[in-house]
Amino acid sequence: MIRGRDAADLVAGVVALLAALEILSACSVGPRYRPPVVAEGAEAPLVSVQPAAETAAQPPDDWWRLYQDPVLDQLLQEAFTANTDLRVAEADLSAARAVLEAAKVGLYPQTKAEVGATYGRDPVTDEILELGGHRPENTWIFDALLDVSYEVDLFGHVRRSIEASRADAEANAAARDAIKITVAAETARAYAQICAVGEQIAVARHSLAVVSHEADITVQRHEAGANSQFDVVRAQGLVAQVRAGIPPLEGQRKAALFQLAALLGRTPSQAPTNAESCVTPPHIDTLIPVGDGASLLKRRPDVRQADRRVAAATARIGVATADLYPRISLTGFFGGISATLPELTTNEGRAWGVGPSISWSFPNQAGPRARVHQAQATAAAALAGFDAAVLEALKETEQSLATYGAELDRRQALAEAQDRAQNAFNLAHDQFLAGAIANIDLLTTEESLVATDASVAASDAALVQDQIALFKALGGGWRRTAAVAYQ
Sign of the four-CA dihedral 335, 340, 345, 349 = negative
What digits encode the pLDDT tens for the residues 159-209? Answer: 999 999 999 999 999 999 999 999 999 999 999 999 999 999 999 999 999
Q: Is pLDDT above 90 for 219?
A: yes
Residue 140 is predicted with a pLDDT of 83
Mean pLDDT of 261-273: 96
State the Cα–Cα distance between residues 320 and 122, nearest whole angstrom: 42
- What is the pLDDT confidence band of residue 422, given thresholds at 50, 70 and 90? very high
pLDDT tens digits, residue range 457-473? 999 999 999 999 999 99
Confidence of residue 128 (pLDDT cuts 50, 70, 90): low
Residues of the chain above pLDDT 70, percent? 91
Q: Which of 5-9, 254-258, 273-277 has the lowest mean pLDDT?
A: 5-9
Kindly tell me if the per-residue pLDDT of 279 is higher than 90: yes
Rounded to the nearest 10°, the torsion over CA 374, 380, 386, 392 is: -100
CA distance linking residue 293 with residue 468, whole number of Å: 19
State mean pLDDT over 376-403.
97
pLDDT (0 to 100) of residue 481: 41
- Residue 120 backbone class (left: φ over 0; alpha: ψ -120 to 50; beta: rest): left
DSSP character at residue 287: P
Confidence of residue 341 (pLDDT cuts 50, 70, 90): confident
Q: Count of CB atoms within 10 A of residue 367's CB?
A: 10
pLDDT of residue 273 exceeding 50: yes
| pLDDT of 239 over the 90 cut | yes
Interhelix angle 229-244/157-223, nearest 10 degrees: 160
Mean pLDDT of the chain, nearest integer: 90
Residue 19 has a pLDDT of 54
Contacts of 388 (CB under 8 A, 6+ apart): 306
Q: Identify the pLDDT of residue 62.
A: 94
Radius of gyration of the chain (CA): 38
**For domain 31-108+155-324+366-474, is the CATH number 1.20.1600.10?**
yes
Contact assessment for residue 203 and residue 83, using Cβ atoms and an 8 Å cutoff: no
pLDDT at site 185: 97
The CA angle 354-356-362, to the nearest 5 degrees, is 155
Residue 225: pLDDT above 80? yes
Q: Which residues pair with 373 in a beta bridge?
A: none
Higher pLDDT, 479 or 284: 284
Whole-angstrom distance, CA of residue 75 vs CA of residue 478:
15
- What distance in Å separates the CA atoms of residue 376 and residue 384, rounded to the nearest whole number? 12
The mean pLDDT value for 355-363 works out to 90
Residues 6+ apart with CB under 8 A from 259: 186, 190, 193
When pLDDT is averaged across residues 65-69 and rounded to a whole number, the result is 96
3 pLDDT band, cuts 50/70/90, is very low
Other C-beta atoms closer than 10 Å to the C-beta of 329 total 15
Residue range 338-347: mean pLDDT, rounded: 80
- Residue 366's alpha-carbon distances to 29, 229, 351, 379, in angstroms, are 18, 93, 40, 20
pLDDT of 120 reads: 83
Can the peptide bond before residue 363 be classed as cis, meaning omega within 30 degrees of 0?
Answer: yes
Q: Please, are residues 140 and 117 in contact by the beta-carbon 8 Å criterion? A: yes
Q: What is the pLDDT of residues 69-119, one digit of tens each?
A: 999 999 999 999 999 999 999 999 999 999 999 999 999 999 999 999 888
Q: Quickly state the pLDDT bin for 226 (edges 50, 70, 90).
A: confident
pLDDT winner (highest mean) among 225-239, 321-335, 399-413: 399-413
Sequence ranges of the domains in the chain: 31-108+155-324+366-474
**Average of pLDDT values for 269-285?**
93
Per mean pLDDT, which range of 109-123, 225-239, 309-323 is the poorest? 109-123
Peptide bond into 356 cis (omega under 30): no
Enumerate residues 6+ apart whose C-beta is below 8 A from 356. Answer: 328, 329, 330, 331
pLDDT of residue 306: 98
